[in-house]
Amino acid sequence: MRSEKIWKEQIETSRWIDEKEVSRITGIAIQTLRNWRCQGIGFPYSKGPGGRIVRYLLDDVVRVMSEGKINPRE
């Protein structure tokens, strides 16, 4: 049962999400995400065929946000 929960969590974080969902999850404005892509900064992303569809791997979004985590009492 425990391994099934871990497996489901891995699938959940391995899914691709659009910029609207990244914005909703992180609180970062969609325009900021777009600006960051143009500047080559921010979250890793992929473009679909034709280069118009942008998707982020949820795992990458969580990782980048965690890397910036500050523990004020340490």
| Per-residue pLDDT tens digits for 18-57 | 999 999 999 999 999 999 999 999 999 999 889 899 999 9
Q: Which pLDDT score is estimated for 68?
A: 87
47 domain residue, yes or no: yes
67 domain residue, yes or no: no
In our burial notation (b when 16+ CB lie closer than 10 A, e otherwise), range 22-39 reads: bbeebebeeeebeeeeee
- What domain count does the chain have? 1
The answer to whether 20 and 61 are in contact (CB under 8 A) is no
With residue 16 as reference, give the H or E element that holds it.
strand 16-17
Q: Which pLDDT score is estimated for 9?
A: 60
On the question of pLDDT at 11 being above 80, the answer is no
50 domain residue, yes or no: yes
7 domain residue, yes or no: no
34 domain residue, yes or no: yes
Main-chain phi, psi angles of 41, to 5 degrees:
-125, 180
Which range of residues forms the domain containing residue 35? Answer: 13-61
| pLDDT, greater one: 9 or 34 | 34
71 domain residue, yes or no: no
On the question of pLDDT at 4 being above 90, the answer is no
Q: Which pLDDT score is estimated for 33?
A: 98
